[in-house]
Structure 1
Amino acid sequence: MNTNVKAGPPTFKLVLLGDGRVGKTSLVLRYVNNVFSDSQAATIQASYLTKRLNISGTILTLSIWDTAGQERFHALGPIYYRDADAALLVYDIMDKDSFTRVRNWVKELRQMASKNIILAIAANKSDLVRSQKIDLQEAERSIREKENYYGRAFLYSTKERDGYY
């Protein structure tokens, strides 16, 4: 939690990481603005959104950084996850390579981000689950064993606005 801000509600910084075209922008736009587009343009560098939350009567601001997933922007990652309270690592359930790179993000965050960062993994595009190429339980077990990951993994469909874990 960012406690440097003196006025206003506490702010929590969340960064979305993952390959390009896995649905990070669609996921955050669905969450913040409740909109979805089948033709969402790729994010260039990063975009920033906020959402006010009321949790048990306490008002909080969620500061969300939606990063570009293209490999050429990977080196900018530390700029966005520096001082992050949480990271949501997103992969496309249809793209096994995007899952492999999520494992790399877990390693990188363990080495370079705050030791208290909260990690979660989203297997996006679950509306396409009939042709799923990655088993969610196997994915979570693999990351727990190899990357010392203690967060949660969940399936989500930004398009249909549903998910489970």
Structure 2
Amino acid sequence: MSVRGAAGRSGPSAAGEGSSGGKPRSNRQVKLVLLGDQGVGKSSLALRFARGEFHEHHEATIGAAFLTQTVTVGQSNIKFDIWDTAGQERYHSLAPMYYRGAAAAVVVYDVNNTHSFSRALAWVKELRQQNASSVLIVLAGNKADLASDHRAVSVDEARAFAEDNGLIFAEVSAKTGMAVNEVFMTIAHKLVRRAEEGQGSGREGVRLNGEEEESRSGCKC
């Protein structure tokens, strides 16, 4: 599945999406992790979504940073607990501490850097090995605003990998806001749907905080 969106539609206003219909809302908590090589813009994506901000010069994350943002899907208020992990190789061993039990992961690469794309594919493989089929994964190509002059990873190549591996795919720009909000809202909608389908079928469904794994295999993308 691919996500498309317009520039600038990201930030705290995401909490206003959805309709109440006069029914009481449920509050759900989602653990989400951002993974990817150093310099691909993970922190910028998290900041754009959580606060609607972009900083041209951002210091490298040490270990991990934590942000939250709440959005509304139907009758559910979804609180994202966002773990923004460091991309430096020396912090790689710490990553499982942050992605363990996550309901969703956004694996980020720079569309203008082939090495970062290779690293993103390695992250996807690691997530699949460690979290089986329970984690919902987005493959996000950041810095799309620079792609017209500097693109190194084609849309077709990235989309083909995503489709072959059951991932959500999107090209985004933390700088302009292009498709950032749409990515996180897509995650929220899919996780709510998973939870509702699990409850409706009488089977043990996925909890949005990642404490329980979905009994079915594969990512419903």
Q: Say yes or no: TM over 0.5.
A: yes
Deviation by residue 1:19-74 (Cα, 9 ceiling, x = unmatched): 01100000000000001010011100001111111111321211100000001011
The residue number in structure 2 matching 1:46 is 64
Alpha-carbon distance in structure 2 between the residues aligned to 1:114 and 1:20: 25
Q: 1:58 to 1:125 in 2, by over 3 A?
A: same
Deviation at 1:9, TM superposition (A): 2.3
Alpha-carbon distance in structure 2 between the residues aligned to 1:26 and 1:91: 12
The residue number in structure 2 matching 1:35 is 53
The residue number in structure 1 matching 2:157 is 138
Q: Which has the larger radius of gyration?
A: 2
Greater RCO (CA < 8 Å, at least 6 residues apart): 2
* Alignment map for 1:10-159 (pairs within 5 Å): 10-130=28-148, 131-142=150-161, 144-145=163-164, 149-159=165-175
Identity of aligned residues (%): 39
Alpha-carbon distance in structure 1 between the residues aligned to 2:161 and 2:167: 13
> By percentage of residues, which structure has more strand?
1
Alpha-carbon distance in structure 2 between the residues aligned to 1:161 and 1:91: 16
Alpha-carbon distance in structure 2 between the residues aligned to 1:60 and 1:153: 21
Q: Is the 8 A contact 1:83 1:114 kept in 2?
A: no
Q: Is the 8 A contact 1:17 1:90 kept in 2?
A: yes
| Aligned residue type for 1:150 | G
Stretches of structure 2 that go unaligned for 5 or more consecutive residues are: 1-25, 184-221
The size of the alignment, in residue pairs, is 155
| Aligned residue type for 2:175 | K
Q: 1:35 to 1:110 in 2, by over 3 A?
A: same
